[in-house]
Structure 1
Amino acid sequence: MSSVFDNSVHFGFQVTAVSMNATSPTFLRTYAAVSGLAGLSWTEKLWASYYTWIGNDILATGLLLFTIHEAVYFGRCLPWFIVDRIPYFNRWKIQSAKMPSNQEHWECLKSVLVSHFLMEAVPIWLLHPWVLRAGISCQLPIPPIATVAWQVAMFYVLEDTWHYWTHRAMHYGALYKMIHKKHHRYAAPFGLATEYAHPVEAMVLFFGTAGFPIIFVLLTGNLHLFTVCIWVTGRLLQGVDAHSGYEFPWSLHHFLPFWAGADHHDDHHRYFIGNYASSFRFWDYVMQTESGALAKQDRESKMKGAAEEKAKKSI
């Protein structure tokens, strides 16, 4: 078997031959070879080295997306698990009287692992053919940061809209009883419970994350898999943090008032209604579905003011 570096073209550039074990080049040797190519950024060197080292784009894409999902999800859940066990942080726990037990964490972990490996792994690993068919690029160059930023921001808005309306629909009748009720088992959410959900709900929410990038590239022909990886990472971090159950003085929504945050989603779990959006607050504000005592008081104040104004005009 010849080395993948022997006069081969991969991702639109030619990799020169290097001194290595031709049958099983290590990632470090692959990276050393790619690093010799001029004009590549550090990120592009890593990206090209990974795909060249794996040597199979379907395997490489599936492994990349699945690894990102597992590493980011559990990597972000672990700090919140530790924080729950440090009394110093209890002052910032939104529902401090409902600290999740080790048993609750263990039961949730088992369910999430089953969902990840038996339900979510299949569509993630089968995503590469859709990536190619839709036109999502895996090749170099990686898009500039400005392009990545506005596309990821757009996906946040689109996913938030999808999440608001599908989530709100799941709070009605049979949809709640048969599907969404499982996610509401924990009235005081914690990070690991982010993806504790019925398989149908998991697939619906999966579309919000994976479907819009595919639709976007079908319409525009302009999307890179690197951007999708950044988007998936950001969405996972946002989801876990929203379920953390902690409200800090430095929480993001104090600096970005439209950002939802843990206090927004915690009220949804506490009151079982309202605050349906995922990342932002504007849909709940516009549709008057904000949850919690303060939101209720604000709505009643507005209704009272509107009624008084109407009465004045009728006099």
Structure 2
Amino acid sequence: MRKEATAVSQPAQLHRVDGHLWDSVKKATFVLGSGLFFFAAFRNSVTWHFQRFWGASGDFWQTLWGMLYNYFGGNEWVLFFLGTMIIPTAVFWAFNGILMFADTTGKPSFITRYRIQVDKNNPVDPAKLRQAVKKVLFNQLFLSVPMVIVMYPVMKWRGNPCGPELPTFHWVLLEFFVFGLIEEVLFYYSHRLFHHPAIYRYVHKVHHEWTAPIGVVSLYAHPLEHILANMLPPIVGPVLMGSHVATTMLWFCMALLTTTISHCGYHLPFLPSPEFHDFHHLKFNQCFGVLGVLDRLHGTDAIFKTTKANERHILLLNFTPLSESVPDPPKQKK
């Protein structure tokens, strides 16, 4: 009887695994496909309006790149460092500057009313924030910069990252699809590795000092984690694809904005939902990935899916905070 039960249970388990895998593939296709669709629509619309406004001849983006290329006299190292470090870092701090102002002052209410953990960081502890900013600056200056310097000769070996001709738009879309998949795999498994009990308290515990994260905390990490989990996952894709620096710049900017939104602590209208990663900081052992595809496959979103946070894990298309429209259940009195 025991053997028969085992024989019956194994096909059932295989069926469940196959079901999870197929659901994960569908979710990945939907998330990445939707992102690429909106990116394509945005690019086409913006290009058309820019061309109408300025009367630009030919392809607007190619013309813009040509102007930048000529301005720096075709100096590839300067162009590469500008695209992979200076511009993405400026975008990161510009966005986080707005968020830190809201975190420390409670204004404007248009931002702060969308706080996810309403009883946390209201306002944020100034000393704790200064510590976070110092560590992020250290990681960027002494870890990110050397990695970008090493990245340059590797990219030169792979192709011509700073050539005068931009890649076609459709090729860029394909690259972004590949980048997203690579980042999901590398970040998920490196993130889970850092949660291993033998490693967590020495490395990843630094990042989890913030159980209610804020935007700048996205790069607040132990140096080893910053290299393996923050930097490598977005770098590997462009290196493998031999990408143009313009594509890499756009990808790095999007990666930094996405991780900032995931940590910002506010579920703002018309921006990707940060509920998934915010829940990870709250509970530690759930929601390890970026897209959530591998979490579904491995069952590391099982608890999250039973919570109100999962119901709020949507794109907010109105101005009513989800903490009001989908409130937490009232706490039971002891």
Same fold by TM-score, threshold 0.5 exceeded? yes
Aligned counterpart, 2:24: none
Pick one of 274, 278, 287 that aligns with 1:266: 278
Pick one of 182, 191, 194 that aligns with 1:170: 194
Conserved? CA contact 1:271–1:292, under 8 Å: no
Aligned 1:1-315 pairs, distance under 5 A: 41-55=59-73, 56-84=75-103, 85-86=106-107, 88=109, 89-99=111-121, 100-205=124-229, 206-217=231-242, 223-248=243-268, 250-252=270-272, 261-278=273-290, 280-290=291-301, 292=303, 294-295=305-306
Conserved? CA contact 2:194–2:200, under 8 Å: yes
Deviation (angstroms), 1:233: 1.2
- Which amino acid in 1 is paired with 2:226? A
Instruction: Tell me the number of residue pairs that the alignment of Structure 1 and Structure 2 aligns.
Output: 247
* Structure-2 change in CA distance of 1:66 and 1:87 (3 Å): closer
- Residue segments in structure 1 that go unaligned for 5+ positions in a row: 1-37, 218-222, 253-260, 298-315
Give TM-score, length-normalised by structure 1: 0.72
Conserved? CA contact 1:271–1:291, under 8 Å: no
User: SS of the residue aligned with 2:189?
Assistant: helix
* Structure-2 change in CA distance of 1:75 and 1:291 (3 Å): farther
How far does the alpha carbon of each residue in 1:149-181 deviate from its partner, in whole angstroms, 9 at most, with x for none?
221122112101111111011100222111111
C-alpha distance in structure 1 between counterparts of 2:132 and 2:60, whole Å: 38
Give TM-score, length-normalised by structure 2: 0.68
User: SS of the residue aligned with 1:75?
Assistant: helix
Conserved? CA contact 1:189–1:243, under 8 Å: yes
Larger radius of gyration: 1
Deviation (angstroms), 1:145: 2.1
The percentage of counterpart residues that share the same residue type is: 25
Deviation (angstroms), 1:296: 7.1
C-alpha distance in structure 2 between counterparts of 1:158 and 1:170, whole Å: 18
Conserved? CA contact 2:263–2:274, under 8 Å: yes
Range moving further from structure 2, 74-83 or 172-181: 74-83
How far does the alpha carbon of each residue in 1:87-108 deviate from its partner, in whole angstroms, 9 at most, with x for none?
6344421111111222222111
* Structure-2 change in CA distance of 1:52 and 1:126 (3 Å): farther
* Structure-2 change in CA distance of 1:136 and 1:167 (3 Å): farther
- Which amino acid in 2 is paired with 1:273? N
C-alpha distance in structure 1 between counterparts of 2:83 and 2:247, whole Å: 13
Conserved? CA contact 2:83–2:245, under 8 Å: no
C-alpha distance in structure 2 between counterparts of 1:62 and 1:237, whole Å: 19
C-alpha distance in structure 2 between counterparts of 1:147 and 1:175, whole Å: 39
C-alpha distance in structure 2 between counterparts of 1:230 and 1:284, whole Å: 26
- Residue segments in structure 2 that go unaligned for 5+ positions in a row: 1-55, 309-334
* Structure-2 change in CA distance of 1:127 and 1:243 (3 Å): same
C-alpha distance in structure 1 between counterparts of 2:138 and 2:204, whole Å: 18
* Structure-2 change in CA distance of 1:182 and 1:49 (3 Å): same
Which fold has the larger relative contact order, with Cα–Cα distance below 8 Å and residues 6 or more apart in sequence?
A: 2
User: SS of the residue aligned with 2:206?
Assistant: helix
